[in-house]
Amino acid sequence: MCRTREHAPVLRAQTPAEDVWFVSRYQDVRKALRAPKIFSSQVTEPVPLTFLTLFDAPNHTRLRQVVARAFTSWSDS
């Protein structure tokens, strides 16, 4: 990962479904997270499983709150 950060901090990868971008430096990640219209987590092709990380707000926020409650209850017991 250190090598990627140094030599290709923003890396484009091609998958059979679409192109994806890997952003590996902290400041670049912060910028990307603050620009959801440019850097979306939404996928264009259906994936076999639904991952929370593939949703953008407001769906991500709503689902995360549901999941957080379950984990909080589990960790308190």
Per-domain residue ranges of the chain: 1-39, 44-77
- Please give the average per-residue pLDDT across 49-66, as a whole number: 80
Pairing label, strands 19-23, 10-14:
antiparallel
19-29, pLDDT tens digit by residue?
788 888 999 99
Rounded Cα distance, 72 and 20, in Å: 33
User: In the prediction, which pLDDT does 48 show?
Assistant: 55
| Residue with more model confidence, 16 or 49 | 16
Tokens, residue 15: 């998958």
Tokens, residue 68: 């957080």
CB 11, CB 28: distance < 8 Å: no
12-48, pLDDT tens digit by residue?
888 777 778 888 899 999 998 898 888 877 766 665 5
Backbone phi, psi, residue 65, to 5°: -65, -40
